[in-house]
Structure 1
């Protein structure tokens, strides 16, 4: 699975209903997703803190990592910073800085519709997915709208994505990706700031900031 910044079972009695729901596009769910996209597209830049939690079958504890995402929305430029890595993209090239390995991996950005990345996180669902509304939920005192998506391409390594959306702001609260292997990835977005001032060179890799690291060009 390609992610930047990246299994539930259904009761048998509901299996037919869910299959029929995913066989068509839910108009209400589409309307909710459109509001999310319009909200983010109204920003020139954004910054958010995030937490990634990885749950693996038969594992007693989960893997958790936190960081910051900065993004220039129109161009798809982004910068992700965590304790273990920096991921920098100018919209065309991505530099993944692996701090412990002292290595920088250089790749081309994949903006295809089946790829979930920082540059597509707010619009990936516009192509290649079927979606349906699910019952509303809450996180603390925050009411959340829930939309579940299934990829049309059955060859993808994940079978479902659950989006929870803040009802008052139309901002994404969290994204959970259900992998076919049973691993579950949850990204929680917090403290989203609209139109923060971001230095123009924040989205450009500077080798002088990472002295001694090996550059591995995978393009």
Structure 2
């Protein structure tokens, strides 16, 4: 599995959580749910969340599972995503992808274009280009969940559906499943969300001394 691609999909979870108020409405009830989710996340200047990724590949019996943490300062486009295999770090201008298994750090320019998927445009990415509908409510243990399904209007996206489950009490994302056209399913479960928490500035800065022996590849 290309873990760099996997972590780019992690961002979809948090992008889905915000800026949903601008969708072309195809379901008024779904629009109201997404608007409330958007307001909840937009109230956070900083965000820290622990998550678990589960990937089911077609024609494979086993599942790939990994845990991680995301730190985000959305207004400035800064973020840090940490999993066991890698880290994505951005100071809003540059992104460093630390690939531990390859002992390599890939340096790229942070993409702020409206067509990109990154925390830099977290409040605007989903304002157009998606249709959404409600699905029957579900439960996870004792948690009551809204269910909203989103479909991209652009048929060239690698995925054809996003299933979003939202805690009815807190208006926070419980989990999201991305249905890939290849048949793979990427599920992300949020184990905890902390808003407006103090995050040290150095979380969003790449420090080579923290990753000794790694080759730095500048792709800018």
TM-score band w.r.t. shorter chain: 0.7 to 0.9
Q: Which residue of 1 aligns with 2:178?
A: 177
Shift of 1:201: 1.6
Q: Which residue of 2 aligns with 1:9?
A: none
Q: Which residue of 1 aligns with 2:98?
A: 97
Deviations 1:55-111 (A, max 9, x none): 011101001110111111222211111111111111232111011211001122334
Q: Which residue of 2 aligns with 1:13?
A: none
Q: Which residue of 2 aligns with 1:39?
A: 40
Query: Which structure 1 segments of 5+ residues have no match?
Result: 7-22
- TM value normalised by structure 2: 0.85
Q: Which residue of 1 aligns with 2:21?
A: none
Q: Which residue of 2 aligns with 1:200?
A: 201
Taking a change above 3 Å as real, the CA distance of residues 129 and 56 of structure 1, as seen in their structure-2 partners, is: same
Instruction: Supply the distance in 1 between the matched residues of 2:31 and 2:137 (Cα, whole angstroms).
Output: 15
> Equivalences for 1:13-162 in 2 at 5 Å?
25-112=26-113, 115-119=116-120, 124-162=125-163
Deviations 1:17-70 (A, max 9, x none): xxxxxx961111111111111111101111110011110111010011101111
Q: 103-112 or 146-155, which moves further after superposition?
A: 103-112
Q: Which residue of 2 aligns with 1:4?
A: 7
Runs of 4+ in 1 over 6 A off after TM superposition: none
Instruction: Supply the distance in 1 between the matched residues of 2:115 and 2:205 (Cα, whole angstroms).
Output: 25
- TM value normalised by structure 1: 0.85
Taking a change above 3 Å as real, the CA distance of residues 176 and 117 of structure 1, as seen in their structure-2 partners, is: farther
Is the radius of gyration larger for structure 1 or structure 2? 1
**Aligned pair count?**
203
Q: Which residue of 1 aligns with 2:188?
A: 187
Q: Which residue of 1 aligns with 2:212?
A: 211
Taking a change above 3 Å as real, the CA distance of residues 53 and 189 of structure 1, as seen in their structure-2 partners, is: same
Instruction: Supply the distance in 2 between the matched residues of 1:114 and 1:140 (Cα, whole angstroms).
Output: 37
Instruction: Supply the distance in 2 between the matched residues of 1:34 and 1:129 (Cα, whole angstroms).
Output: 14
Taking a change above 3 Å as real, the CA distance of residues 37 and 127 of structure 1, as seen in their structure-2 partners, is: same
Instruction: Supply the distance in 1 between the matched residues of 2:208 and 2:81 (Cα, whole angstroms).
Output: 16
Instruction: Supply the distance in 1 between the matched residues of 2:46 and 2:212 (Cα, whole angstroms).
Output: 29
